[in-house]
Amino acid sequence: MLKIGVLGAGHLGKIHLKCIQNLAEVYHLVGFYDPDAQRAQIVSEELGVPAYTDMDALMDAADVVDIVTPTLNHFDLGVKAARKVKHFFIEKPITETPEQARELIKLSEEAGVKAQVGHVERFNPAYQSVQDQIQNPMFIETHRLAEFNPRGTDVPVVLDLMIHDLDIVLHAVKSNVRKISASGVAVLSDSPDIANARIEFDNGCVANLTASRISLKNMRKTRIFQRDAYITVDFLEKKSELIRMKNEIDMEDPYAMIMDLGDGKKKQIYFEQPECAPINAIQEELHSFASAINKKEEVSVSLEDGYRALQVAHEILHKIELNLNLIA
User: What pLDDT does residue 323 have?
Assistant: 79
User: What pLDDT does residue 244 have?
Assistant: 83
User: What pLDDT does residue 194 have?
Assistant: 95
Question: From CA 103, how far away is CA 120, in angstroms rounded?
Answer: 23
User: What pLDDT does residue 253 have?
Assistant: 59
The model's pTM = 0.91
Rounded to 5, what percent of the chain is helix, strand, coil? 40, 30, 35
Cβ contact 7:67 at 8 Å: yes
* For residues 211-231, average pLDDT: 94
What's the topology of domain 2-119+281-299? Rossmann fold (3.40.50)
First-to-final CA distance of the chain: 57
**pLDDT classification of 114: cutoffs 50, 70, 90:** very high
Q: Which residues pair with 230 in a beta bridge?
A: 225, 243
User: What pLDDT does residue 132 have?
Assistant: 93
* For residues 231-255, average pLDDT: 80
The share of the chain scoring above pLDDT 70, in percent, equals 91
- 3 state SS for 131-189: HHHCCCCCEEEEEEECCCCHHHCCCCHHHHHHHHHHHHHHHHCCCCEEEEEEEEECCCC
Question: In this structure, what is the dihedral angle of CA atoms 171, 175, 181, 183, given to the nearest 10 degrees?
Answer: 0
Question: From CA 8, how far away is CA 34, in angstroms rounded?
Answer: 5
How many angstroms separate the most distant Cα atoms in the chain?
Answer: 75
User: What ranges do the domains of the chain cover?
Assistant: 2-119+281-299
Chain CA centroid to CA 192, Å: 20
pLDDT digits (tens, 9 = 90+) for 214-223: 998 999 999 9
**pLDDT classification of 4: cutoffs 50, 70, 90:** very high
More confident residue, 170 or 216: 170
pLDDT digits (tens, 9 = 90+) for 51-89: 999 999 999 999 999 999 999 999 999 999 999 999 999
Least confidently predicted of 115-129, 218-232, 243-257, 270-284: 243-257
User: What pLDDT does residue 245 have?
Assistant: 76
User: What pLDDT does residue 190 have?
Assistant: 81
Three-state SS at 283 = helix
Is pLDDT at 5 greater than 70 in this prediction? yes
Q: Which residues contact 207 (CB under 8 A, 6 or more apart)?
A: 139, 140, 141, 142, 169, 173, 197, 198, 199, 201
* For residues 275-300, average pLDDT: 96
